[in-house]
Amino acid sequence: MAKLLPRGRKVKILATIGPSSRDPDTLRALLCAGADAFRFNMSHGDHAVHAENFKTVRALEKEFNRPIAILCDLQGPKLRVGEFAEGKAVIAHGATFTLDRDETPGDASRVCLPHPEIFDVIAVGQRLLINDGKIRLKVKQVDDTSITCQAEVGGVISDRKGVNVPDAEIPIPALTAKDRRDLDFAIEHGADWIGLSFVQRPEDLSEARQLMGGRGALCAKIEKPQAIKRLDEIIALSDGVMVARGDLGVELNPEEVPPLQKKIVNATRLTGKPVIVATQMLESMIESPTPTRAEVSDVANAVYDGADVVMLSAETAAGDWPEEAVIMMDSIARQVERDEGYKMRVRLLDTPPDATTADALAHACMTVGDTIELAAITVFTSTGSSARRVARERPAVPVMVLTPSVAVARRVALLWGAHPIATRDIGSFEEMIGKAKRMSLRHGFGQEGSAIAVMAGVPFGHSGATNLLHVVTLSGAELDEYENDHPEED
């Protein structure tokens, strides 16, 4: 069996699979280069392609004996203009342009907007952004069948270009018919995370939750200004959050995005749920083997802010240098985490423990790791909750997460500092200590004489009963004895 050593960093890397990376050899190279999880973009590729990607990732998981998270990112509702008589037109700067409900092909003065729900909520003075904000229209007049605008920024507009409505909440469901089909496919094939696009309100999460039926974890993508207004409610109803800076940057002024990114990261970190920073992190590496200095700083700042995950999109999906992009992101993260000021920076956010025994012990794990030299904190968990509590404290040492559930191990793969291991359950204190020691030695956390902290719950096998913290010293003789007696157990 091939072996992957511990990453040596806390932040995780989520790489998107696409035409540049879907073959098994490339995906293996990305995993070895530092990818911890893979994103399937359901906006592209058919189910047959994604099914092959599932098989490839699960084969790699078995080859390397390392739980790998798969996040299926749903497309979400896309608002688009209709078609033009000549395929495209040019809107002059300052010109009047009308979006209406007439399906006749458009020209330089008008085009169909086949979304009646927009006509119900748009108001004079609001903006319409087309083609990722390249065309900016300001609404001058509205009635039931037409929206008359002035082009603040004109340009070329072509068939089916996307429309953003930043100043209004559009009453459309977060899941389209395509999303429901994609969600069924993803859950059927064992997706660990579902990315829900264009979340505007807490209610948007309800239908996805119901369709998931308790399978997989739900990640709310924050890419609409309306979501910011109810951010805490959305975080409370999700299992994790993605800062989707692409569409967020279209609907907001560019200078508004960085402080919002920090706000979303901090608000999510307070809950202990994983937060992903995504979009254009190493954008120039789609075509270049090296990033710009600004991109390096962007990734570094996300790591300094304590994000759980940094994501690569087109860089690995469609770029010319997918492996190099992962290597670069891994290198940036390692360099930041070696900085002597990193621990202080990542803990600038105060994450006070809740008044529970489990939270108090998670906080104590962090304190013990600061006080004595630990090789790892070992957390026994059946749901992943204890691992999230410990990771929320941003301890100075890795968190080895032992769970009898493969599904939990895969979900935890997106958690800051966590090294998940799917292993048999324990039934006694002695078995717990012995397994913690063996797994630490076997997976490269410490050596003979190293200390580890062990957190678990007694009685064993009952979720929500975390009440024990123990510090033990590793012994190589114990591992040798175990291997001779139990060669078959992972």
Go through the domains of the chain in sequence order and give each one's CATH number: 12-77+173-339 (3.20.20.60), 88-164 (2.40.33.10), 357-485 (3.40.1380.20)
248: CB partners within 8 A, 6+ apart:
222, 223, 224, 225, 257, 260
Assign 383 a pLDDT band (cuts: 50, 70, 90). very high
Amino acid 488: pLDDT: 44
For 338-376, what is each residue's pLDDT tens digit?
Answer: 999 999 999 999 998 889 999 999 999 999 999 999 999
Distance CA 308, CA 222 (A): 16
Question: 79 and 201 in contact (C-beta within 8 Å)?
Answer: no
Averaged pLDDT for residues 204-224: 95
Assign 38 a pLDDT band (cuts: 50, 70, 90). very high
Q: What is the DSSP letter of 427?
A: -
List the catalytic residue out of 78, 80, 178, 345: 80
Amino acid 153: pLDDT: 96
Chain centroid offset of residue 78 CA: 21
List the catalytic residue out of 9, 22, 110, 221: 221
For 419-431, what is each residue's pLDDT tens digit?
Answer: 999 999 888 899 9
Amino acid 481: pLDDT: 60
Task: Using the Cα atoms of residue 409, residue 414, residue 415 and residue 419 in order, give the sign of their dihedral.
Answer: positive
30-34, 79-83, 165-169: segment of lowest average pLDDT: 165-169
For 236-263, what is each residue's pLDDT tens digit?
Answer: 999 999 999 988 888 888 899 999 999 9
For 286-339, what is each residue's pLDDT tens digit?
Answer: 999 999 999 999 999 999 999 999 999 999 999 999 999 999 999 999 999 999
Active site annotation includes 180: no
Active site annotation includes 221: yes
**Mean pLDDT of all residues belonging to the chain:** 94
Distance CA 227, CA 242 (A): 12
Amino acid 58: pLDDT: 98
Active site annotation includes 262: no
Amino acid 72: pLDDT: 98
Q: Own/partner pairs for 249-253, CB < 8 Å, 24+ apart?
A: 249/133, 249/279, 250/129, 250/132, 250/133, 250/164, 250/166, 251/129, 251/133, 251/164, 251/166, 251/223, 251/224, 251/225, 252/166, 252/225
List the catalytic residue out of 16, 98, 279, 403: 279
- Main-chain phi, psi angles of 244, to 5 degrees: -90, 85
pLDDT tops 80 at residue 5: no
Amino acid 482: pLDDT: 55
Three-class SS of residue 127? strand
Residue 368 in tokens: 């013990």
Supply angle C-alpha 387, 391, 395, rounded to 5: 125
Distance CA 435, CA 378 (A): 10
